[in-house]
Structure 1
Amino acid sequence: MLLGVVFFLFAFAEKRNSTRILSDVNLHFTNNENLYLTEEAVNKLLIQNEVRVKSIGKEALDLNRVETLLEAHEMVENAEVFLTVDGKLGAEITQRKPLARVLASAPFYLDRHGFKMPLSEYYSARVPLVTGVREDQLKEVYPLMDFITKDEFLTRHVTGLHRLPNGKYQIHLRQLDFVLMFGEVKDIELKFKNFKAFYQKALKDKKLDAYEKVDLQFGDQVVCTKK
């Protein structure tokens, strides 16, 4: 009789667990950032795709499908979906991160992987402005923008890039009056190393305001044009 009772309770618990209704969705945004996508937008996406988590049993919910739906969202870089033992759906979402805002007829972001990213209706990122660049030239500008973003000094000073018709780039700097000619996207590390050395020397000599153009296109040299 004791064994019979144990088997009955086990079968009852298993049946109840398999038919338990999902009662809640717990969303977690990595780095605590839900800047470009809100919980409300995520829930709306699930509802629109007939993932009604409050009315679907645990066994009927395809977690891979939910994950695919979330990752298909234009603001989502990665999504990990799971189900807790108490019948709750959990999702850890990593949003895409913009490096720059590209000014075009329809503006968009350049994300940290070098792809086009739409603007968000919820948040406007404070990133450098890129002008003169077409969508098919993103692969060209990406290495330059990626290097700038990963460098603390450059991140603090660079406000924008402009691509000239000849494929060379100008860099706009915060609170500095001169034009920084970078040239073609090559020798990035060397050019910025030279620029940092020039900047420190000119800052020490109090001559940063004496130039109208600083050119990094000549190897180890920094060529300056005075006002």
Structure 2
Amino acid sequence: MTGPTRVLVCDDQALIRTGFATIVDAQPDLEVVGTCADGRAAVDLARRLRPDVVVMDVRMPVLDGIEATRLLAGAGVADPVKVLVVTTFNLDEYVYEALRAGASGFLLKDAPAQQLLDGIRTVASGAALLAPEVTRQLVGRYASRIAPSGAAHDDAALTPREREVLRLVADGLSNAEIAAELVLSHETVKTYVSRILTKLDLRDRVQAVVYAYRNGLVR
């Protein structure tokens, strides 16, 4: 990107919305281009302003964050927008519906400010994000409900090393952590992850984690 990452913040709670916007706008590489309080406004603003990332709440009036995400980033959307879902811990099932709708990842609302900023940057870069502290618990609970759409995939196409990398991805490890665990270079791990997504016809890292849990590949 040549300029700051453009961010749209959508949350029906004014304090949270203003707080997020203030934190994001204070960063030299991030720029808040708009804020809104419901999913319909998020869809309308995102289509008009074309932000790089939408920070999206789940439960909102008029149109909830799940449906708004589906309209902005779901299958069949011609020019999808990257969505980072933020939610409270007790809305975990809604989070997974949002991931199935096309979100690139999620964070908890009580996450440290730096984690929110890093999450926005991660999603803007084209990577997917799962809050590491809740990945195992939430994905394990709901993975069976949110299979990636499309044809069934055959993990037999994966090499033993690719299966190992996939398991570590599902354990919530970053590429750098996987590289350290397997004594590989960061670039090699990125290549493995890319091959896994291609072979299994998965959209991103989020779907890879869900796939691994659904197919019993997690240790």
Decide which structure has greater strand share.
1
| TM-score computed with the length of structure 1 as normaliser | 0.30
| TM-score computed with the length of structure 2 as normaliser | 0.30
Higher RCO (Cα < 8 Å, 6 or more apart): 2
Decide which structure has greater helix share.
2
